[in-house]
């Protein structure tokens, strides 16, 4: 059954269908004027959700209704009829920017700058009054027959902060959404500036800055892709547009224009800066040659949709990525090199037995040698003989001392070992075998 009335309004036709509902043309018998009515379905909500939705819907529509500006569509009324909430707004005679771009009509560059500056003016006024649009795109920009540019759908665009928005979701048009909207973060006026930059990019080049075969591909481009500068798509474009677009579409909100009024001021001052108007007109001619009717909005991502927001990619700082492993390695090496030495008492006990055995062997060898001494060897004093130990004897003593040194920490072990070697083999830093050569030599 077709709808005939919404509140006091008499439905006279259907203007279009969007993600939120149907747009009707209607007659207001009270004031005798034609209006456009956008509807939002409440069916499927619980009673608590419906009450919360109505409260948020009417409060935000009221805020949008206070936006009385030449570049913003005027909201006349809000209401509810059965399961439909609706907003009545001024009826506009003109075309959407989406329709203009899809038709293949190429706008002169001065007209492109005028349209973008008018959008920026409307956004600046809305932001100054605490209202964020959140869904700036060509379909929400109306170009009237008189040439006036108006931003539409302010009341509808405010709904994502209401009760209908689920945690982990965001509402918007993927090709024009800001990165923070894709990530589910709070959107402020700078998000609208990013979307305005995307719209300006499409007006200049004839194609959207982000494209893909499906929703995920588009969202990935929004988060990670860097579109080519407009002048690379059309070398005859003044480079002033490159600077404006690049700054408006910075991934980091803090690096963008902070106020829409700054965008409007740059557009009005810079797009004339190349000098001769012929240069601007020749750039428009080149854009006309590039444009193809019906292709500007043919890819996915134009419609306003509810998407699951992505988790913010974790960016590991270089200090954490490289510093932590290096610090751990340094701590391990320091512990290994500077670990405390073993208690000295056990080491002495361990070393005592080998030393005593060595002295005993040395004494037995001396006595045996004395017993076998020739008359010539008897002439040598016992004291002199005791100072010349056999090779096997000093090797045993050296090994015992080296065994004791091995129980020390690294630096202490090195010093202890070399002192022992020098004691029995001065000038030699090699093995026991080498010391043998020195001692016997």
Q: How many CA atoms lie within 13 A of 26 on its CB side?
A: 28
Q: Is residue 53 within 8 Å of 109, Cβ to Cβ?
A: no
DSSP H helix total and E strand total for the chain: 19, 11
Per DSSP, which regions of 136-180 are E strands? 141-144, 149-151, 169-172
Is the Cα dihedral 290, 295, 301, 305 positive or negative? positive
Neighbours of 122 (CB within 10 A): 26
Contacts of 269 (CB under 8 A, 6+ apart): none
Kindly name the residue from 77, 102, 135, 153 that is annotated as catalytic.
Answer: 135
Alpha-carbon gap, residue 407 to 336, rounded angstroms: 13
Is 135 one of the catalytic residues?
A: yes
Long-range contacts of 419-422 (CB under 8 A, 24+ apart): none
Residues linked to residue 16 through DSSP beta bridges, in sequence order: 23
Q: Supply φ then ψ for residue 171, to 5 degrees.
A: -110, 135
Reference 140, options 20, 267, 244; nearest CA is 20
Furthest CA-CA distance within the chain: 149
Q: Which residue has the tokens 């690294």?
A: 410
Active site residues: 135
């Amino acid at each position: 059954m077709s709808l005939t009335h919404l509140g006091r309004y008499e439905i006279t036709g259907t203007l279009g269908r969007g993600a939120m509902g149907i747009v009707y043309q209607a007659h207001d018998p009270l004031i005798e004027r034609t209006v456009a009515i956008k509807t939002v379905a409440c069916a499927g909500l619980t009673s608590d959700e419906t009450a919360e939705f109505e409260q948020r819907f009417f409060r935000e529509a009221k805020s949008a209704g206070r936006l009385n500006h030449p570049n913003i569509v005027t909201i006349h009324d809000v209401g509810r009829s059965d399961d439909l909430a609706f907003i009545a707004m001024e009826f506009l005679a003109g075309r959407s920017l989406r329709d203009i771009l899809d038709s293949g009509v190429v706008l002169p560059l001065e007209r492109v700058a005028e349209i973008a500056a008018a959008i920026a003016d409307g956004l600046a006024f809305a932001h100054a009054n605490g209202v964020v649009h959140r869904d700036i795109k060509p379909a929400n920009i109306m170009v009237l027959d008189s040439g006036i540019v108006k931003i539409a759908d302010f009341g509808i665009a405010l709904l994502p902060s209401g009760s209908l928005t689920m945690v982990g979701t965001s509402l918007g048009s993927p090709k024009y959404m800001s990165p923070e909207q894709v990530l589910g973060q709070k959107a402020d006026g700078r998000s609208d500036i990013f979307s305005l930059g995307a719209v300006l990019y499409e007006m200049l080049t004839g194609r959207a800055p982000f494209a893909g075969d499906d929703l995920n591909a588009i969202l990935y481009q929004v988060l990670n892709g860097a579109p080519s500068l407009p002048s690379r798509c059309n070398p005859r474009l003044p480079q002033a547009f490159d600077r404006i677009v690049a700054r408006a579409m910075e991934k980091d909100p803090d690096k963008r224009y902070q106020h829409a009024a700054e965008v409007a001021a740059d557009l009005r001052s810079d797009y004339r800066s190349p000098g001769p108007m012929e240069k601007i007109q020749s750039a428009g001619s080149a854009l006309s040659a590039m444009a193809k009717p019906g292709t500007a909005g043919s890819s996915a991502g134009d419609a306003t949709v509810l998407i699951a927001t992505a988790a913010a990619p974790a960016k590991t700082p270089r200090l954490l990525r490289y510093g932590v492993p290096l610090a751990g390695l340094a701590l391990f090496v320091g512990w290994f090199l500077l670990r405390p030495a073993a208690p000295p008492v056990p080491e002495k006990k361990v070393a005592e037995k080998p030393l005593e055995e060595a002295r005993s062997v040395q004494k037995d060898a001396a006595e045996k040698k004395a017993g076998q001494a020739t008359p010539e060897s008897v002439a040598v004093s016992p004291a002199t003989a005791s100072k010349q130990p056999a090779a096997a004897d000093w090797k045993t003593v050296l090994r015992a001392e080296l065994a004791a040194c091995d129980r020390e920490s690294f630096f202490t072990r090195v010093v202890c070992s070399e002192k022992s070697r020098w004691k029995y083999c001065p000038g030699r830093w090699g093995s026991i075998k080498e010391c043998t050569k020195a001692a016997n030599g």
